[in-house]
């Protein structure tokens, strides 16, 4: 029991403290919105791609790439999207909010919190394994999000600001996907990266997660959580409890254990992605519900992830 508690604390506390530090620094005006915007841009366009490149470029795909794991993660993503949509139709009375609810309930912040937990649990190998899954899941996230948001935007007679061509363009130009594609090409070709170049990339990748977690903490609006609605709470429960529980159950029944099950859990249990706010605002013109879901799940994930990791570790599943 004590060993399990210490393991769980070692995984979750560093992430929680970094997010908390970001919140405190913002409250005392040590960092501001401009810092957060600039650092987020740096992380998304340079540091996070460098981290993924560093993890994947030297990966042995013959021993690491497991198609069954990829199909499982994508399958759970599809199922969660469908279930979230059904739940929205059944529980969300305002039709214009249903698309925002669905996106908030199924779309996770994989590239930051998912990778942070994978890194704390399994190190570079965990980041590499997660990166393969994340690059594919992100594509599904974008496609499904635009489908459900556009559906209700058109239904309400609103003029959407996004189009299918914009979606395709955003996927092709996504720095994370580009980084994964290049690093996989290098790994397959077995091209040796010069140590000097690799070290520079390593420096850039090293700042990705700490800076991203600080930015997440700085964006948390505690006041919005106090004014939470039934819709935001329902989406948060689905994202943090129902989705990871169902995903782990399916994976467990299929025989997954150890690092694979642990990675699947932290990806399924990640809080709602900040990008959901941007997309919801662009399509529907409304962002309050999306912002509330992000805030609740970001704070709540610290506790639900801790509990999930503890239980999985206690029953020797990871």
Quick one: pLDDT at residue 166? 66
Asked if residues 100 and 284 have their Cβ atoms less than 8 Å apart, the reply is yes
Over the range 191-227, which residues count as b (16 or more CB within 10 Å of their CB) and which as e? eeeeeeeeeebeebbebbbbbbbbbbbbbbeeebbee
Torsion of CA 291, 297, 298, 300, to 10 degrees: 140
Quick one: pLDDT at residue 278? 73
Separation CA 102–CA 88 (nearest Å): 6
pTM score, whole prediction = 0.83
Domain count, the chain: 1
Quick one: pLDDT at residue 195? 86
For 136, residues 6+ apart whose C-beta sits below 8 A from its C-beta are: 70, 73, 74
Nearest by Cα to 295 from 241, 245, 209, 223: 223
Asked if residues 277 and 107 have their Cβ atoms less than 8 Å apart, the reply is no
* Residue 254 backbone phi and psi in degrees, to 5: -85, 0
Model pLDDT for residues 226-262, shown as the tens digit of each residue: 666 788 999 999 999 999 999 999 999 999 999 999 9
- CATH classification at residue 115: 1.20.1530.20
Beta bridge partners of 87: none
Quick one: pLDDT at residue 105? 96
Separation CA 174–CA 169 (nearest Å): 8
Beta bridge partners of 272: 108
Asked if residues 137 and 180 have their Cβ atoms less than 8 Å apart, the reply is no
pLDDT < 50: residue spans in the chain? none
What is the domain extent for residue 300? 2-314
Asked if residues 243 and 268 have their Cβ atoms less than 8 Å apart, the reply is yes
Quick one: pLDDT at residue 167? 64
Nearest by Cα to 58 from 106, 135, 124, 147: 124
């Amino acid at each position: 029991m004590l060993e399990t508690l210490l393991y769980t604390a070692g995984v979750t506390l560093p992430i929680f403290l970094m997010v908390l530090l970001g919140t405190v620094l913002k409250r005392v005006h040590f960092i501001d919105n401009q810092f957060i915007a600039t650092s987020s841009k740096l992380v998304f366009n340079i540091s996070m791609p460098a981290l993924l490149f560093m993890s994947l470029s030297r990966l042995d795909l013959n021993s690491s790439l497991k198609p069954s794991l990829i199909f499982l993660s994508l399958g759970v993503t599809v199922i969660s999207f469908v279930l979230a949509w059904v739940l929205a139709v059944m529980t969300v009375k305002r039709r214009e909010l249903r698309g925002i609810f669905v996106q908030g309930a199924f779309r996770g912040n994989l590239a930051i919190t998912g990778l942070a937990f994978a890194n704390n649990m399994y190190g570079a190998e965990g980041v590499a394994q997660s990166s393969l899954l994340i690059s594919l899941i992100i594509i599904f996230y974008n496609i499904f999000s635009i489908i459900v948001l556009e559906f209700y935007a058109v239904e309400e007679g609103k003029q959407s600001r996004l189009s299918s061509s914009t979606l395709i363009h955003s996927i092709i130009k996504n720095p994370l996907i580009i980084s994964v594609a290049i690093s996989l090409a290098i790994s397959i070709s077995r091209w040796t990266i010069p140590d000097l170049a690799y070290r520079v990339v390593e420096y850039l990748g090293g700042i990705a997660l700490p800076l991203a977690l600080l930015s997440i903490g700085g964006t948390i609006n505690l006041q919005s959580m106090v004014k939470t609605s039934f819709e935001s709470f329902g989406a948060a429960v689905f994202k943090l409890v129902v989705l990871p529980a169902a995903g782990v159950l399916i994976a467990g029944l299929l025989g997954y254990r150890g690092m694979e099950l642990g990675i699947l859990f932290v990806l399924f249990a990640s809080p709602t992605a900040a990008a959901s706010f941007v997309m919801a605002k662009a399509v529907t013109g409304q962002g309050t519900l999306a912002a509330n879901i992000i805030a609740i799940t970001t704070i709540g994930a610290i506790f639900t992830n801790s509990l999930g990791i503890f239980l999985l570790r206690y029953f020797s599943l990871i």
